[in-house]
A = this chain, B = another copy of it.
Amino acid sequence: MEYSGERFVAVYQLTGDETSARLKANDLCLEQTVELPDALVTDEKIRAHVFGRVETLTLRETDLYEARISFAVEIVGGELTQLVNVLFGNISIKPGIRLERIELPPALAQKFRGPRFGKKGLREFLGVRARPLLCTALKPMGLNASELADLAYQLALGSIDIIKDDHGLANQTFAPFAERVARCAEAVARANEETRGRSVYAPNVTAPAPFVHERALFAKRHGAGALLICPGITGLDTMRALTDDDRIALPILSHPATQGSYIADRTSGISHSCLFGQLNRLAGADAAIFPNAGGRFFFTKDDCRALADGCNVPMENIAPIFPTPAGGMSLERVPEMRAMYGRDVMLLIGGGLRSHSPDLVENCHYFRELSETI
């Protein structure tokens, strides 16, 4: 077969001195492709095209290099699963290598739809012109479907844009998926009629593989207006397939559960920007939920800024998406988040929305007011 000559680039941070970094870069070229020592590959076409190629190796700081490695688009076969494998499969098991970012040529990017809505589409869908989008979560796990629906009703009366399930709400007997979704969607619709608002309910469709689309279709039929999924649990491609399903066609919120290990160690794993920004976008999320700096988790402000950049960086046909800082945020933090992320952000406050005052609807209005103030 003939190769097009089109290549995509993966940028890695490599730890070590120049010799060690060069060894790592050269190793990457084989490990992520032919998985054989150089000497065992004699086919000239494979050597010329299938081998990864070190395009540049640049010193960033002492014992920290950046390698740009290119791969033929043909080795991906147009599939997200194999793209992820080339970018990070075996290399995940070697120390001192972190995937920083990806650069896809149009020929490869166009294999993927990316977010169905993206920033612009989601604003239109929700009817929110310019202010930050507001999001909250139904919790705690253990409430029954009626109790969750009562909560959803209050939150929709408060005009929160997206009222999502907590990501631990699955299909437990205390609030089975079907009953919960039907009741919560109905409650949000009822509140919308009263407020003439456009709040949407986003149930969690993180589910066993055979049920993801089934639950999403059920949710759509019963009036859900968006969906929540944890791609770290279901696999990124399950989220992509959900986005691509024209029968569903709802905005997708991506939740970071189990993905913390990829960003736990600054010398390995995947950068915040690439994992939560670029890969989420390739896999069709319209909003990337992440733990904001200064909450219950350990992201730094720089991590969060980089992540927001990954949600926005140009990627050919792949639309930008909403960074969605969360994880223990409170109303008091809104002005700071507004200053840090600007207006193109989705603000997610869960428990913090309830503790502000006993009047939940009033707290929601205050959330909106704060979010519109610079």
A105 at the interface (CB under 8 A from B): no
> Does the CB pair B89–A233 fall under 8 Å?
yes
**A153 CB to closest chain B CB, in angstroms?**
18
One digit per residue, 1 when the CB lies within 8 angstroms of any chain B CB and 0 when it does not, for chain A 173-192 equals 11000000000000000000
Judging by beta carbons under 8 Å apart, are B50 and A261 in contact?
A: no
Contact A168 B35 (CB under 8 A): yes
Nearest CB in chain B to that of A259: its residue:
B92
Question: For A75, A140, A142, A236, which residue has the most chain B Cβ atoms within 10 angstroms?
Answer: A142
| A40 lies within 8 A of B241 (CB) | no
In the bound assembly, the distance between CA atoms of A37 and B37 in angstroms comes to 53
A294 in the interface (beta carbon within 8 A)? no
**Complex Cα–Cα for A48 and B91 (A):** 44
Decide yes or no whether A45 CB sits under 8 A from chain B.
yes
Residues on B with C-beta less than 8 A from A262 are: 261
A85's partner among B91, B137, B257, B268 (CB-CB below 8 A) is B257
- A119 near B: Cβ within 8 Å? no
Q: Which residue of B lies closest to A43 (CB)?
A: B142
B268→A264 contact, CB < 8 A: yes
User: For residue A43, which residues in chain B have a CB less than 8 angstroms away from its CB?
Assistant: 140, 142-143
- Interface contact B89-A257, CB-CB below 8 Å: yes
The verdict on A141 contacting chain B, using a C-beta distance below 8 Å, is yes
State the CA gap A168–B238 with chains docked (Å).
Answer: 19
Query: Which of A62-70, A128-136, A206-214 lies at the interface?
Result: A206-214
Determine whether the beta carbon of B140 is less than 8 Å from that of A298.
Answer: no
CB of A297 closer than 8 Å to a CB of B: yes
B297 touches A93 (CB 8 A): yes
| Structural contact, A261 and B256, CB atoms closer than 8 A | no
- A75-B172, A142-B43, A172-B74 as given contacts; A234 in contact with B264, CB under 8 Å: no
304-324 of chain A: CB within 8 A of chain B: none
Residues of B within 8 A of A154 (CB): none
Judging by beta carbons under 8 Å apart, are B81 and A40 in contact?
Answer: no
B37 near A351 with CB under 8 A, answer yes
Contact status A74-B234, CB under 8 Å:
no
A268 and B297 alpha carbons, distance in the complex (Å): 14
A59 at the interface (CB under 8 A from B): no
Kindly supply a per-residue 1/0 record for chain A positions 232-276, scoring 1 wherever the CB is within 8 Å of any chain B CB and 0 otherwise.
111111101100000000000000111111111100111000000
Using known A-B contacts A235-B233, A262-B261, determine if residue A40 contacts B143 with beta carbons closer than 8 Å.
no
**B residues less than 8 Å from A206 (CB atoms):** 81-82, 85
- The CA-CA distance from A139 to B35 in the complex, in Å, is 7
Q: Which of B144, B210, B296 is in CB contact (< 8 Å) with A241?
A: B210
- A301 sits at the interface (CB 8 A): no
Task: Judge whether B168 and A79 touch: CB under 8 Å.
Answer: no
Give chain A interface residues in 20-64, CB to chain B under 8 Å: 31-37, 39-41, 43, 45-46, 49-50
CA distance A31 to B31 in the complex (A): 38
The answer to the question of A86 belonging to the interface, with a C-beta cut-off of 8 Å to chain B, is yes
Q: What would 22 A/B residue contacts be, using CB atoms closer than 8 Å? A: A32-B168, A35-B137, A35-B166, A35-B168, A36-B351, A37-B355, A41-B140, A45-B142, A46-B141, A49-B142, A76-B172, A79-B170, A79-B208, A81-B233, A82-B168, A82-B171, A90-B257, A92-B232, A93-B298, A261-B261, A261-B262, A261-B269
Given contacts A90-B297, A261-B264, 13 further A-B contacts (CB under 8 A): A33-B141, A34-B141, A40-B140, A43-B140, A82-B172, A85-B258, A89-B168, A91-B260, A95-B298, A209-B212, A233-B237, A235-B238, A260-B268
